[in-house]
A and B are shown apart, each in its own frame.
Chain A
Amino acid sequence: MLENIALIREVHTLMPTSKAQELANQYLQKINLDSIGTKRLNQCSSLEIFYVMCIRALMMDAKTVIIETPYAIVDNLRDIASVLENISILNFTNKKILILDTQNNQIHYKGCKCNTAK
């Protein structure tokens, strides 16, 4: 997973591999997922893969990150609040994060700190 995350910085900012992997590891440590650094894709849960995708997206130059239907990406996701909290920990560069979801899942977002709009 470290290689997958480090790839973004290696390609876009030509960061050396060792530095990019160190940075990727720091991102994973922030949400206590550094144990997946050496794992391959098939060894990770859908939630872990989701976080890796988020980290990669947050490493991009784009100012806005759009997450489309997290409930479809993560299997058996029950507590979106903890996911949102982890995303906010990762988002220390203050990118704008938009989550697009169906109205069926609106109930899951009740009580979350994020703004919701129909």
Chain B
Amino acid sequence: MIKFIENVGDKTITSLSSLYEAIEFTLICLGHMIQPKSYNPAMRMVLTKQIYFTAVTIIPLFIMMAFLFGSVIIGVVISLATEYSLQDQIGSIIVTFVIDEFSPFFTALLISLRSGTAVNTEIAVMNVNKELNMLKEYNINLIDYLFLPRIISGIISVTSLSILFAIIMLSSGYLFTLFYMNMDLHTYKYLLLDAIEVKDLIVLLVKSIAFGFATMLIPIYSGFKMANSYTTIPISVLNGMVKLFIAIFFIEVLSLVIQSL
């Protein structure tokens, strides 16, 4: 019994100290983000490259996926709305579903799978190869040079790609309204413009920023805090990805709770 209590206590202390360290790391990164001196030429160069690799190179695949997934899902939503005689509400249903929920969530998942894993592995390998120590020896701040550009590129990439995804999805929605409801472009356009509110745009931006921040911060932290051996790299990536997906679902649930208040 005492052993059991000791184990529970030990795990609780370990979990709480890990949580404290993670929160501390997040606050340090946020602190660096608002300091102008963090934005040195080397950091800006890394930031530009990161935005290119995270947001630009993915665009052709992203447009294709947005069109395919977007068309199918928006088709299902429209057909269900028609089936339950909710044609009057179709504009607000599309706007809420596409802008508030699906676009930022799907974009965050895609960026997590593509760039989150890459960043986690990159930092973990640099850690094992002692490259992080080498940078510290040259008085180069790891947060400014390595972490901040990746976090900012995550925020910029997820936000911009979410907006792109929403635009593509709303465009593909027109095809389905035309097919199911014989709606012309003019009517569809005014339907959306009537339904869209400033709140929807704020939700899209805030959620995208939160997703982008988590998408890069968690893999970076996971790679940075791993033990120094090659065999722990896959474990670090695995743990980082699990934590990242939990964080994405947590943000999604939190946003739903806040919106329902």
* A113 on the B face (CB < 8 A): no
Which residues of chain B come closer than 8 Å to A60, judged between CB atoms?
Answer: 138-139
Q: How far is the CA of A57 from the CA of B138 in the complex (A)?
A: 7
Q: How far is the CA of A14 from the CA of B138 in the complex (A)?
A: 15
Which residues of chain A come closer than 8 Å to B28, judged between CB atoms?
Answer: none
Q: How far is the CA of A48 from the CA of B138 in the complex (A)?
A: 18
Do residues B138 and A56 form an inter-chain contact, with CB atoms below 8 A? yes
Interface residues of B in 109-168 (CB under 8 A from A): 138-141, 144-145
> 8 additional contacts, CB 8 Å, given A8-B140, A12-B139?
A3-B45, A6-B42, A7-B138, A8-B138, A10-B41, A10-B42, A57-B138, A60-B138
* B40 on the A face (CB < 8 A): yes
Q: How far is the CA of A48 from the CA of B140 in the complex (A)?
A: 22
In the complex, how many angstroms separate the beta carbon of B131 from the nearest chain A beta carbon?
Answer: 10
Interface residues of A in 7-35 (CB under 8 A from B): 7-8, 10-12, 14-17, 20
Q: How far is the CA of A74 from the CA of B114 in the complex (A)?
A: 37
Do residues A14 and B139 form an inter-chain contact, with CB atoms below 8 A? no
Do residues A17 and B139 form an inter-chain contact, with CB atoms below 8 A? no
Which residues from chain B sit less than 8 Å from chain A, CB to CB?
40-45, 138-141, 144-145
Do residues B138 and A17 form an inter-chain contact, with CB atoms below 8 A? no
In the complex, how many angstroms separate the beta carbon of B52 from the nearest chain A beta carbon?
Answer: 15
Looking at A6, A7, A20, the one whose CB has the most chain B CB atoms below 10 A away is A7
Q: What are some 27 contacts across the A-B interface (CB < 8 A)? A: A3-B45, A6-B42, A7-B42, A7-B138, A7-B145, A8-B138, A8-B140, A10-B40, A10-B41, A10-B42, A11-B40, A11-B42, A11-B139, A11-B141, A11-B144, A14-B40, A14-B41, A15-B41, A16-B41, A17-B41, A17-B42, A17-B44, A17-B45, A20-B41, A56-B138, A60-B138, A60-B139
Instruction: Count A interface residues, CB 8 Å.
Output: 15
A57 nearest in chain B by CB position: B138
Which residues of chain A come closer than 8 Å to B141, judged between CB atoms?
Answer: 11
Q: How far is the CA of A16 from the CA of B44 in the complex (A)?
A: 10
- Please tell me which one of the listed residues A11, A16, A20 contacts residue B145 in the complex, with CB atoms under 8 A apart: A11
Which residues of chain A come closer than 8 Å to B145, judged between CB atoms?
Answer: 7, 11
Which residues of chain A come closer than 8 Å to B138, judged between CB atoms?
Answer: 7-8, 56-57, 60
In the complex, how many angstroms separate the beta carbon of A104 from the nearest chain B beta carbon?
Answer: 25
- Please tell me which one of the listed residues A11, A14, A57 contacts residue B140 in the complex, with CB atoms under 8 A apart: A11
Q: How far is the CA of A103 from the CA of B185 in the complex (A)?
A: 84
Which residues of chain A come closer than 8 Å to B139, judged between CB atoms?
Answer: 11-12, 60
Which residues of chain B come closer than 8 Å to A14, judged between CB atoms?
Answer: 40-41
Which residues of chain B come closer than 8 Å to A17, judged between CB atoms?
Answer: 41-42, 44-45
Q: How far is the CA of A81 from the CA of B43 in the complex (A)?
A: 38
Q: How far is the CA of A6 from the CA of B138 in the complex (A)?
A: 12
In the complex, how many angstroms separate the beta carbon of A64 from the nearest chain B beta carbon?
Answer: 14
In the complex, how many angstroms separate the beta carbon of A40 from the nearest chain B beta carbon?
Answer: 13
In the complex, how many angstroms separate the beta carbon of B151 from the nearest chain A beta carbon?
Answer: 18
In the complex, how many angstroms separate the beta carbon of A103 from the nearest chain B beta carbon?
Answer: 26
Which residues of chain B come closer than 8 Å to A7, judged between CB atoms?
Answer: 42, 138, 140, 145
B44 nearest in chain A by CB position: A17
Which residues of chain A come closer than 8 Å to B40, judged between CB atoms?
Answer: 10-11, 14
Looking at A8, A11, A14, A17, the one whose CB has the most chain B CB atoms below 10 A away is A11
In the complex, how many angstroms separate the beta carbon of B148 from the nearest chain A beta carbon?
Answer: 12
Q: How far is the CA of A8 from the CA of B139 in the complex (A)?
A: 9
In the complex, how many angstroms separate the beta carbon of A53 from the nearest chain B beta carbon?
Answer: 9
